[in-house]
Each structure stands twice: as structure tokens, then as C-alpha cells.
Chain A
Amino acid sequence: MNTEILIKYISKQATLQECEQVMDWVNQNEENKKVLMMLINMEALLLSEDKACRASAEEYNNFIMQCEEVYNVGKKQIRNLWWRNSKIKRYIGYAAVILFVFSVSLNILQFSIKAPVKIEAQPLICGTRTADALHREIFVAKGEKSRVELPDGSVVWLNSESRITFPLKFSAHARMVTLSGEGYFEVVENPNQPMIVNLDNDYSLKVLGTTFNVKSYKNENAIETTLYSGKIDVYEKGKDTPIHSMTPNETYIIRPAVSIIHQPESVINVSAEIMEKIAAWKDGVLYFDNLPIRDVVVRLERWYGIEVRIDEEILCDYTYTAKFENTPIVNVLEDMRDKLPVDYRIEENVIYLVR
């Protein structure tokens, strides 16, 4: 047996085939097994011996914060224990039963008199959660926007319907972030620790210290990156040379799945004015720049968290130009009615655009 394969197996670099090779070899006899076991133990010993990698202060602080949380929960449990043992509890129990029976009968009475009131369930779709022990995930729902600070001090504005996942602590060599949706990044410069932004559709951006806006919605067939300052390398998954290096004032568009006629990638140099418009969303400004109605509808749905339907196909031929700053949806619709041969009606939380 080749020692290299054994070492690869232990360090988890072996292919499936090689793993099976190791398995067969070990199953041959007891001595082979002992050799592998010794190598594993040696590896463990050496890896735990080396003093090269210290945990950072930040990592420690995260840990202490978690500890304190656990500690506080523990205190609450102690209080609950007192509660459980006290005698009042029993009386309260009786009282609760009586109250319950009373309220049920009251409810039945009410129910028979009046039609039931419809209660609208509000699903909680916006928020932060700890994806696992190591990562945090933030999801911004339709109609919402958010600002997130990453562990290294970089700041990300998230547009509606966007999701970002990042580790509680970045590793020493790379800052790995995953994004779907639209985000405006202000990345703290650190040449030794590039930030790698993984986008859903097989692309990633490598940045050192930059300001940029990236839009990568699943239901839109393009990834649009606009660079404000610094430098970005765009990578395709599985390739180790960048497919494009961006310079400031540039918008780079990738269309992953389109017909051969279209160019899959394109570089556009944009003016300062447009640059400003692209990132205006983070300040609550909604721009429509000669946008087809079909796209306007997608933007409105995302921006306001509502449903908009186009009643007549013919409306799709129009384009719309406008600028709104923190404006209610009704005013937008009114404006649209003034500028275009379009009217609207609202039925059960759905907006219909009609002629």
C-alpha cells in the first residue's frame, strides 16, 4: 500500500476510489489495520502539538457571548424550579381549568351568534438565524431592506428578498460570504485576507477592499456587478483563473443561461450618474429608467412586498421612467397612471394593471 494514499485518506483529501482502496487494504489483515491506526494517532498528535494557530480575540468574544447566553438561560431555569415546587401553582392550576371551561363556553356562545373573525396569519420570513454553529444567515423579505455588519467590519446593505450567509468568524486567509439577491458592499481593505463572495449561480467574486453593488436574483437571468472603487476578480466555479477583472465605473453582466445568439458576458462602462442610480436603493430611492413594464412589476413586487399582475399583455410594450423617495405604492401607481395609458385596481391585496 502506498503511504501517500493513507496520508490522503487521513487528511480527507482522498477520492472515493482511494478510500475504498484503503478500506480493502485494512480489511485484509489486523496488521494493516494497526498501521493505519498508528498513523491516525500520530496525525492527531502532531496536529494538536503545533502552536502555529491561535484563536483570535474576536473568536473568543463570540464564545464568551454564547456562554453568557447559556448562563442566563440557566438562571431562568432555576427560577422555574422554585415555581414548580411552590404550592400556589396548584391553585393557579385549578383557576386555569375553571377559566378555560368558562372561556370555551363563552367562545361557543359567541361563535353561534357571530360569524368567526378571520385572523390573518403573518409568517415570519424576515430575520437572522444561526445557520449552524459556525455561520449566520440573514434573510431580508420582500418589502424590506437591511444593513449588515460583517465580522471584519465590512458593511453590506441588503435589498428586498436577499439572503446572505457568513461565518461568525472569518478564517485567517479568506472571508467567505454567500449572497443571493442584491447587496451593496463596502469591504474593509485587507490584502492578506481577500473576501470571496459566492453567488448562487456558479460564479464568485474575489475582492480585497472595494465598494460594489451586485445583483443576482434567482428569478432574473443575469448577474449584474457594478464596481465603485477598488478591484474585483470574477470567477466561474471550478476554474482557478478569473474570467474577468473589473475596474471602477464598470458594470459587468453575466447571463448564465441564454441562447447562443446573446453574448453571455458583457462589460458596460457607465457614467457617474447611472452609477449613483444603481445603488440608490440602499437610500430608499426607487428608480425606473426607461424600464419595461414587465420589469417594473417585478421591482414593485419586491420593493413593496405586494403582488402585482398585468391584466393585458399589450401593457408590456410600455416603458416607465420615474424616481421615488420613500413613497407609498399608491402614489407610484398614480404617477404611472398620469404618465402612461395605464390604470389600476386593487382587489384583495393584489394590484391589477389595466388599460
Chain B
Amino acid sequence: MASIKVLNGNAAVAEAVGQVHPDVVVSNPVAPATPILERIASFIAEGWLDAEIINAESAYSAISACIGASAAGGRVISATASQGLAAMHELLFVASSLRLPIVIAVANRALSAPINIHADHSDAMAQRDCGWIQLFSENSQETYDNIIQAFKIAEHPDVRNPVMVGLDGFITSHEMTNIWLVETGEVTDFVGKCNPAYSLLDSNNPVTVGSLDTPDYYFEHKVNQLQGMENARKVIKEVGKEFGDRFSRYYGYFESYKLEDAEYAIVLMSSAAGAAKEVVDELRSNGEHVGLLKLRVFRPFPHQELKEALSHLEAIAVLDRALIPGSFGGPLFNETRAALYDMEDKNLPLVFPYVYGLGGRDITIDNFRDVFRDIEEKNTEKIEIKTELAFINLRQ
């Protein structure tokens, strides 16, 4: 029996983790992800979650401990954000290269300097080339559902790749909402057992993990590594469908909101989608053909599907919650625009880059109205420069 609880995003992660039952939990406090670990620690202290907790002295050691624990053949979870995730950077590559199905919840938060503990996607976007599958969640419900699916995706024999699940720091992580929880037995049944390819604890079959490669093998190994990520495309879809079939909430690479007959659309990720949908509804009631695409899977980037979903549009505003100095737009913009480039029909939609919400700056209903108005104007005026970065709700 499913049940409803009032939980915030962090608690939703902890609930999902408790149900999925990791063997080792690695804890290192970084705001706004800390309550996730505190709640899991309380499950262990109360004795109903039979797992070992490692209270790592740094984020660098936390991800290292995850790697050791995962290579030892069991299920591992950790949570972090911002500086913690940045400090893990070097080891994130190692975790994915060793094909370890670690799951990390990331309460997405701005990066220093200036130090700031509020939401943006700079932390996760800075790790987008680390070989991790990246899922983003709009709200606590999606966070809960994504964590459960993350283990199944990561541990799938065709994938064996780590997954990070993003939830917006101090927005999703701390907002209390109703959440439908799946019964633990059903979660156990859905996720299945962790069947590692090898285990460092199996002394009858010793393995050497993390060899030295010279130029005669490195390239092949790196390209082979892609298989897990590429296979994840299919597995993410299947897992999302199976989750829907069992628990009535379906997941794909993205959510298309009133896109089918739209002329103008916004593309974004995570919590801002809620307010954007409000504006889409409002403008639609005024007869405007607008829509929204909320991306859930950033890695592997669903370029083919995105192209199909967006190609009929007149103009698209891509809203990044991360700033990439020296680039012509944020990472979501770059990927989206590149995905549309090889359209057979050369009637490409115009794609405009926006950056919003850095360091927890609010994005309001008015801001979304302005964005739609802006791209409509830019489209009708057929302006020359299509890549000039616009900032939303920034004091000039």
C-alpha cells in the first residue's frame, strides 16, 4: 500500500534510501544536503536500517570511501552539494571509469566564490563530463522517485555506472510537500538485488582494480567505458516505464508540457518548472501557443529525443541555472542548440540562452512572462545575434 507523508526533498531522499537499503552510507556534512545524511543516520541508529555508516572527514574521503565500498561489492549511497561535490571532482572520474554503481544525491547549490549556500546548478554542471548519469528533480516527489530509480539504473548489468540525482538546494531540499511513498517491499522488489561484476572481498577470485594504462590501452578503455552510459539511454527509459506501470508515475528523459502545438517554449531543469507551467497555462488561456520542456536526464543527454520534441518550434528559450564564463551560453543551452543543429529540415527553431537563479535568486511568474515575450520579439524581429546571453532577474 502506498502512503502519503509530508516531507521535504532531503527527507524524501532519506526515505527512498532507507527503502532501497544500501549496505554502506557515506556521510560528510555539506549544506543543504546534510539533513539527508542525518535522517539516514537516525534510521541506522534506530536499528531499522541495517547498514554501516562512514562519517568521512572530507568530501574527498567520502567519495573515496564510496569507491572502496562499491568495489567491495555492495550498495552505496552518499549525499553532498556544491563545494563537497567540487572537492569530489577527481574521484568522480574514477568512480565512473571503474564502472561502480554508486548513487549520490546532490542538493544543487552555488559554488564559491562568493560563498553561497543557495540553489543553482553550478555544482552539477561542473561535473557533467565526469561520466556520471545525471538526473534532475522538479520536486520532492520526483526526488524520491528518482533516487529509487537511480539504484536500478546504476546497478543494471548493461549500465554499471554511477548516478547523481539533483534536487534544488533549499528549494526542493527544504520545502515540505505531500509525497506518495511506495511500500518498502515493493521498492525492494522493484530495485532488486545488487549483483556486482566483481568484489574485492572475494578472495577466491582476486582482481586488480585501477590498473595503469599506457597509450596502448587507455584509449580503448575510455571508449569501452561509453557503453555503460550509452546503454543507460535504453535502461533509463525502461526503468521509468516500469516505475510508472507499478506505481503510476511515469518517467522519461524529459517532461513535455503543452509542447505539441506550441510555437514558443522554455527548456529548463528542476524546481523552476513549477512556476513555468503556471505561466504556460496562463498564456495559453490568452490564446498563445507556448509550452515547456523540463529536462530530467542531463547525462546521457537525450539529443535525438530532444530534437524531435523541439524541432517544430519557432523559438526556444533555454534557461540555465549555471554560468559558464567564456562559453556562449550555459551547458543546457549548448547541448540543446547542438541537438537541433543536424535537423534534416533546415527550418531550425531559434534558440536563445538565458541564465537565471544563480545563488538562489528567485525566478518569478513575471520573469517567465518576460522570457516568452522576449523570444517572441526576437523571433519576429529576426535579430542578427542569436547567442547573446540574457540574465533573468538581474539588477543591472
- Same complex for A and B? Answer no
